[in-house]
Amino acid sequence: MPIALLALTAGAFGIGVTEFVIMGLLIEVSTDFGVSIGMAGLLISGYALGVVAGAPVLTILTSRWPRKLTLLALMGIFIVGNLACALAPNYAVLMAARVLTAFAHGTFFGVGSVVAASLVAPDRKASAIAIMFTGLTVANVLGVPFGTWLGQAFGWRATFWAVAGVGVLALAVIALFVPRDQAGSQDGNPAAELRILMQPKVLMGLLTTVLGFAGVFVVFTYIAPILTGIAGMPEAAVSPILLVFGGGLVVGNLVGGRLADWKLVPTVLGTLAVLALVLGLMGLGLDNPWVTVAFIGLLGAAGFATVAPLQLWVLGKAEGAGQTLASSFNIAAFNLGNALGAWLGGVVVEQGAGLVALPLVAAALPVAGIATALLGVWIDRPHATVTRDKLA
pLDDT by 10s per residue, the chain, length 392: 678 888 899 999 999 888 878 877 878 888 899 988 668 877 877 888 888 888 888 888 887 888 899 999 999 999 999 999 999 999 999 999 999 999 888 889 888 888 888 888 888 888 888 888 888 888 877 887 888 888 888 999 999 999 999 999 999 999 999 887 655 554 556 666 677 677 888 888 889 999 988 899 888 878 778 888 888 888 777 777 878 888 898 899 889 988 988 888 899 999 999 999 999 999 888 888 889 889 999 999 999 899 889 988 887 777 655 677 787 888 888 888 887 887 888 888 878 778 888 899 999 999 999 999 998 888 776 554 444 343 33
Domain 1-182 has CATH 1.20.1250.20: yes
Residue 193's region, left for phi above 0, alpha for psi from -120 to 50, else beta, is alpha
Cα dist from 152 to 26, 112, 304, 380, whole Å? 10, 32, 29, 51
CATH number of 185-392: 1.20.1250.20
Query: Whole-angstrom Cα distance, residue 236 to residue 375?
Result: 45
Which DSSP state fits 279? H
Domain range annotation of the chain: 1-182, 185-392
Nearest to 85 by CA among 77, 73, 94: 94
Same fold, 1-182 and 185-392: yes
pLDDT for the residue 193:
67
Yes or no: say if 294 and 302 are a contact pair by the CB < 8 Å rule.
no
pLDDT for the residue 1:
65
Query: Whole-angstrom Cα distance, residue 293 to residue 299?
Result: 10
pTM equals 0.77
Query: Whole-angstrom Cα distance, residue 257 to residue 251?
Result: 10
Nearest to 116 by CA among 1, 264, 252, 196: 1
In this structure, how many other beta carbons lie within 10 angstroms of the beta carbon of residue 390? 7
Cα dist from 57 to 104, 153, 329, 356, whole Å? 10, 38, 10, 40
Tens digit of each residue's pLDDT (9 = 90 or more) over 142-184: 887 888 888 888 999 999 999 999 999 999 999 999 887 655 5
